[in-house]
Homo-oligomer: A and B are copies of this chain.
Amino acid sequence: MDSNKLTAVLLLTCPDRVGLISRISHFIFERQGNIIDLDEHVDQEQQLFSIRVAWDMTNFTINAQQLQEAFAPLAKEFQATWSLRFLEQKSRVAIFVSKRDHCLNEILWRYQLGEYNIEICCIVSNHSNLKPIADQYQIPVHVFPVTKNNKKEQETKELQLLQKYQVDTIVLARYMQILSPQFVKHYPNRIINIHHSFLPAFAGSNPYRQAFERGVKIIGATSHYVTEELDQGPIIEQDVIRISHKDTLKDLIRKGRDLERLVLAKALRYHFEHRILVHGRKTIIFE
């Protein structure tokens, strides 16, 4: 890919100190980069500096390959955690699903519209019923029926498959299996889940039933990165919808379905546009 057609995105976090923005923006300026978006945040309590800078590389004096190396000394000096990516470089994605189609449908529809700059390499499922949808988009489906006994082996096979496809991001689009900590470890902050409740309320199974029984007046959906602890990962996006005593459990599921689709879709946009910095249990979203 031609470096001069790229848009670089730097995500960086480090202890706060005087001159960080000046130094970083100067690094870009002196190489003829044109900053098109810069957003920064200082957590005063933790004295933590975070930044996202995107710049046009049309006249950049070094190329994409040299950039990482050129920036490394500065990052080291700042004791930073950082990444440098290019908006035009497609993320390679696997979608995990079970039986419900709404989240998968939503992602594929947006994918086709070109909303995400990604390549959906494959769909992984523990069931085969969503194959017809995948076929419409000509995306390969791999079925791994998971039982208590074969979980470890199946996950191993899944990991091999993901490696084969060079997948860098996994989307759990209402995948009803719990991934093992061993599996999760391979994709730190690269597995995105949609949970059908307003976390931390109603974690675990059957959140709509839990909400119905508690008699809440609002239900929610939460998209988060998957960590080893179930439903405890850093939250990317949440949204809610009002319900009333007239709504049955079935109505909650119907209303929640629309939330899940949109919340997951929004979280994916943040992720694929490199707008998310994870710090501990929390995310910073550079909108």
Contacts and interface: CB of A to CB of B under 8 A. Distances in A.
B215 A240 contact: no
B105 A109 contact: yes
Contacts of A236: 217
A101 to B, nearest CB: 8
A254 B285 CA distance: 19
A23 B25 CA distance: 9
Contact of A201 (B20, B40, B200): B200
A125 to B, nearest CB: 19
Contacts of A260: none
A257 to B, nearest CB: 9
A2 interface: no
Interface in A1-50: 18-23, 25-26, 28-30, 32-45
A148 interface: no
B237 A240 contact: no
A77 interface: no
A200 B218 contact: no
A64 interface: no
Given A21-B25, A105-B109, A217 B235 contact: yes
Interface of A: 18-23, 25-26, 28-30, 32-45, 59, 102, 105, 109, 115, 136, 198-202, 213-218, 220, 234-240, 244-246, 248, 254, 258, 262, 281-285, 287
Given A39-B39, A201-B200, A262-B258, A216 B244 contact: no
Contacts of A283: 215, 245
B239 A218 contact: yes
Contact of A21 (B35, B198, B239): B35
Contact of A235 (B40, B216, B239): B216
Given A102-B109, A199-B216, 15 more contacts: A21-B21, A21-B35, A22-B25, A22-B30, A25-B25, A36-B42, A37-B42, A38-B38, A39-B40, A199-B201, A200-B202, A200-B216, A214-B282, A217-B237, A245-B285
Interface pairs A-B: 3 shortest CB-CB: A215-B282, A22-B29, A201-B201
B38 A40 contact: yes
A198 B202 CA distance: 12
B40 A18 contact: no
A59 B83 CA distance: 32
A42 to B, nearest CB: 6
